[in-house]
Structure 1
Amino acid sequence: MTFAATELAFRAASVALLLVLGASLVSDFGYVLAARLGAGFAIGSAAHAASYSVGVTSLVPAWHAPLIALSTGNIVVFWLFTRALFDDEFRLRWWHGLIWGLVTAFSFVNCLWIAPGGNVRLAVTVVNLIVLGFIALAVAQTINSWSADLVERRRRVRVFIVCSAALYGGVNALLQIVVTGVEVGDIADTINAGVLACIVAAIAYAMMRVDGAELFPVAVEAAPPLVLSQAPAAEDAADQKLIDALMRLMADERIYRQENITIGVLANRLKIPEYRLRRLINQRLGYRNFNVFLNNHRIEEAKAALADPAQAEVPVITIAMDAGFQSLGPFNRAFKAVTGVTPTEYRRLKASTA
Structure 2
Amino acid sequence: MEPWQILDLLLRGMAVGAQLGLAIALARSAEDRGLRIVILLLFISSISLTLTGVPQILRMMGSAQILLWLIQIGGAGYFWLFAVMLFEDRRLTWISTSPSIALTVIGLFGQYGPRALAPATWGLHNVLGLLLALNALFVIIRSGQNDLVEARRRLRVPFLLLIAVFSVVISAVQIGQGLGINSPWYQFANASLQALLGIGGVAVLLEARSTLFGVSPGGRSATVDARPIDDSQIWLDRLQKVMDIEALWRREGLTIGDLATAVGLPEHRLRRLINDQLGHRNFASFVNQRRIAEARTLLSDPASAARTVASIAFDLGFGSLGPFNRAFRDETGLTPTEYRRQTMANSSPIPENPR
**Distance in 1 (alpha carbons) for counterparts of 2:96 and 2:346:** 35
1:69–1:105 CA contact under 8 A, matched in 2: no
Tell me what 1:293 maps to: 286
**Range with greater deviation from structure 2 (300-309 or 318-327):** 300-309
Tell me what 1:235 maps to: 231
- Which amino acid is the alignment partner of residue 231 of structure 2? E
Aligned CA distance change for structure 1 residues 11 and 114 (closer, same or farther; 3 Å):
farther
Aligned CA distance change for structure 1 residues 109 and 247 (closer, same or farther; 3 Å):
same
**Unmatched tracts of structure 2, length 5 or more:** 55-61, 351-355
**Distance in 2 (alpha carbons) for counterparts of 1:127 and 1:312:** 47
Tell me what 2:107 maps to: 107
Aligned CA distance change for structure 1 residues 221 and 269 (closer, same or farther; 3 Å):
closer
1:14–1:200 CA contact under 8 A, matched in 2: yes
- Which amino acid is the alignment partner of residue 323 of structure 1? L
Q: Could you tell me how far 1:118 is from its partner in structure 2?
A: 11
What number of residue pairs does the alignment pair up?
330
- Which amino acid is the alignment partner of residue 166 of structure 1? I
- Which amino acid is the alignment partner of residue 286 of structure 2? F
Tell me what 2:199 maps to: 201
**Distance in 1 (alpha carbons) for counterparts of 2:123 and 2:330:** 41
CA offsets per residue over residues 122-157 of structure 1, 9 Å max, x none? 676544323211111222222232433312113434
**Distance in 2 (alpha carbons) for counterparts of 1:305 and 1:123:** 49
1:77–1:100 CA contact under 8 A, matched in 2: yes
2:249–2:317 CA contact under 8 A, matched in 1: yes
**Distance in 2 (alpha carbons) for counterparts of 1:261 and 1:94:** 28
**Distance in 2 (alpha carbons) for counterparts of 1:112 and 1:306:** 50
Tell me what 1:18 maps to: 19
Tell me what 1:42 maps to: 43
**Distance in 2 (alpha carbons) for counterparts of 1:309 and 1:279:** 40
Tell me what 1:133 maps to: 131
Aligned CA distance change for structure 1 residues 138 and 204 (closer, same or farther; 3 Å):
same
**Distance in 2 (alpha carbons) for counterparts of 1:276 and 1:180:** 51
Does 2:183 correspond to 1:190?
Answer: no
2:109–2:121 CA contact under 8 A, matched in 1: no
Q: Could you tell me how far 1:182 is from its partner in structure 2?
A: 9.2
| Secondary structure of the corresponding residue to residue 143 of structure 2 | helix
1:21–1:39 CA contact under 8 A, matched in 2: no
Tell me what 2:218 maps to: 221
Aligned CA distance change for structure 1 residues 256 and 124 (closer, same or farther; 3 Å):
same
2:253–2:317 CA contact under 8 A, matched in 1: no
Tell me what 1:57 maps to: none
**Unmatched tracts of structure 1, length 5 or more:** 54-60
Sequence identity (%)? 24
Aligned CA distance change for structure 1 residues 230 and 185 (closer, same or farther; 3 Å):
closer
Q: Of the candidates 243, 258, 262, which is equivalent to residue 255 of structure 2?
A: 262
RMSD: 4.5
Does 2:172 correspond to 1:168?
Answer: no
**In the TM superposition, what are the counterparts of 1:47-62 in structure 2 within 5 Å?**
47-51=48-52
In the superposition, the TM-score normalised over structure 1's length comes to: 0.70
1:164–1:199 CA contact under 8 A, matched in 2: no
**Distance in 2 (alpha carbons) for counterparts of 1:307 and 1:183:** 62
Aligned CA distance change for structure 1 residues 280 and 19 (closer, same or farther; 3 Å):
closer
Tell me what 2:143 maps to: 145
1:49–1:193 CA contact under 8 A, matched in 2: yes
Aligned CA distance change for structure 1 residues 21 and 328 (closer, same or farther; 3 Å):
same
Q: Could you tell me how far 1:15 is from its partner in structure 2?
A: 2.1
Aligned CA distance change for structure 1 residues 89 and 184 (closer, same or farther; 3 Å):
closer
| Secondary structure of the corresponding residue to residue 287 of structure 1 | coil
2:16–2:198 CA contact under 8 A, matched in 1: no
**Distance in 2 (alpha carbons) for counterparts of 1:28 and 1:254:** 36
